[in-house]
């Protein structure tokens, strides 16, 4: 598969129309149609269902779409990273969950961009599983994990900061009068819990033998929409401290857990991979701050 043809394929999936895609790509429609037909022949499968006005993807086409995006992104990033040999330039792609403890990394990135204006930053939000997958596929340079994970396949630096778990609830909730929330406080109440935290049994030791009595009504990956759900249901949301969005602060409040529950923060990158100069610079500067 040629990158050029993959770009053609992605344009068609974006516009769902061969004529418009050809116009955007500055190629003739017959040329575009032939390239995609050749791609289907090469793969031995049908990628499109061609309707009168719109084109939809087959199951195989949907799979190719996800992988083609990764391949094109990786090619573009690699090209940008090696295009200028005399100066440090290119793209730094960093995937992470939401945490106020990203401040250390963001300060370093800010300084790097000021010192090397040709470096561009690409930030991607997602849970640990998503970021590890992106790292394995080479579509990001670094992943930042919040919590304990198997790091045997990665190079990594553990940050001194930790994330602390707590509960977001309505400000007028009776439990808001407490300075910290215990497992017994939550019995019989509706709970909204991090999907990754639940899958990795982060709360098992905290609530102990009360596990079966916890009423989990919803799970989430990132906290913004979950906070809207708290506002509308009065449920209790497990999340890290300092993630309460400003627009929700009129109605919601955060309370830490008792006993305390904290998570380590680790930045990781692939082993046995030659890092770009920009990536090497980030690692070097991060190590400098950790050694102070």
Q: Which two tokens stand for residue 253?
A: 């409040």
Return the pLDDT at 86.
52
Same domain flag for 221 and 150: no
* Mean pLDDT confidence for 34-42: 90
Return the pLDDT at 227.
94
- Nearest-10 crossing angle of helices 277-290, 103-115: 130
Same domain flag for 156 and 100: yes
Structural domain range at position 14 = 3-79
Return the pLDDT at 48.
87
pLDDT at residue 87 greater than cutoff 70:
no
Domain count, the chain: 3
Q: Which of 79, 110, 131 is the last residue of a domain?
A: 79
| DSSP string of 7-52, one letter each residue | HHHHHHHHHS-HHHHHHHHTS-HHHHHHHHHHHHHHHTS--EEE-S
Same domain flag for 154 and 272: yes
C-alpha distances in angstroms, 4 versus 46, 76, 118, 132?
19, 12, 26, 28
Same domain flag for 146 and 270: yes
* Mean pLDDT confidence for 77-86: 65
Q: Within the chain, how many helices (H) and strands (E) appear?
A: 10, 12
Same domain flag for 149 and 118: yes
Same domain flag for 145 and 218: no
Greater confidence (193 vs 77) lies with 193
* Mean pLDDT confidence for 231-242: 95
Q: Which of 26, 54, 79 is the last residue of a domain?
A: 79
* Mean pLDDT confidence for 193-205: 90
Same domain flag for 171 and 254: yes
> Domain holding 179: CATH number?
3.40.190.10
81 — pLDDT class (breaks 50, 70, 90): low
Same domain flag for 150 and 167: no
84 — pLDDT class (breaks 50, 70, 90): low
Same domain flag for 170 and 150: no
**Segment 158-190, tens digit of pLDDT:** 999 999 999 999 999 999 999 999 999 999 999
3-state secondary structure of 126: coil
Same domain flag for 168 and 248: yes
Same domain flag for 73 and 149: no
> Domain holding 31: CATH number?
1.10.10.10
Same domain flag for 273 and 285: yes
Q: Which of 79, 98, 121 is the last residue of a domain?
A: 79
Return the pLDDT at 197.
87
Q: 274, exposed or middle or buried, with CB in 10 Å at 0-12, 13-18, 19+?
A: exposed
pLDDT at residue 234 greater than cutoff 90:
yes
Return the pLDDT at 25.
87
């Amino acid at each position: 598969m040629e990158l050029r043809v993959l770009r053609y394929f992605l344009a068609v999936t974006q516009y769902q129309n061969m004529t418009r895609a050809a116009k955007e790509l500055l190629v003739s429609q017959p040329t575009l149609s032939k390239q995609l037909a050749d791609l289907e022949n090469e793969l031995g499968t049908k990628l499109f269902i061609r309707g009168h006005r719109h084109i939809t993807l087959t199951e195989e086409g949907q799979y190719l779409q996800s992988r083609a995006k990764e391949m094109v992104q990786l090619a573009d990033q690699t090209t940008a990273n090696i295009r200028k040999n005399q100066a440090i330039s290119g793209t730094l792609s960093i995937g992470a969950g939401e945490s106020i403890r990203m401040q250390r990394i963001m300060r370093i990135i800010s300084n790097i961009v000021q010192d090397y204006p040709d470096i561009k930053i690409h930030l991607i939000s997602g849970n640990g599983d998503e970021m590890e997958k992106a790292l394995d596929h080479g579509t990001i340079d670094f992943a930042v994990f919040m919590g304990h994970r198997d790091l045997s396949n990665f190079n990594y630096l553990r940050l001194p900061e930790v994330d602390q778990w707590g509960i977001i609830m309505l400000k007028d909730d009776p439990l808001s009068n407490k300075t910290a929330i215990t497992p017994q406080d939550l019995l019989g109440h509706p709970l909204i819990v991090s999907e990754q935290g639940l899958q990795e049994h982060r709360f098992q030791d905290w609530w102990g033998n009360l596990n079966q009595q916890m009423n989990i009504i919803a799970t989430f990956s990132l906290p913004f929409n979950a906070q809207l759900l708290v506002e509308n249901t009065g449920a209790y949301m497990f999340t890290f401290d300092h993630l309460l969005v400003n627009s929700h602060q009129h109605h919601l409040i955060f309370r830490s857990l008792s006993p305390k529950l904290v998570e380590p923060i680790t930045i990781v990158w692939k082993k046995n991979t030659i890092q770009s100069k920009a990536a090497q610079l980030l690692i070097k500067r991060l190590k400098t701050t950790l050694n102070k």
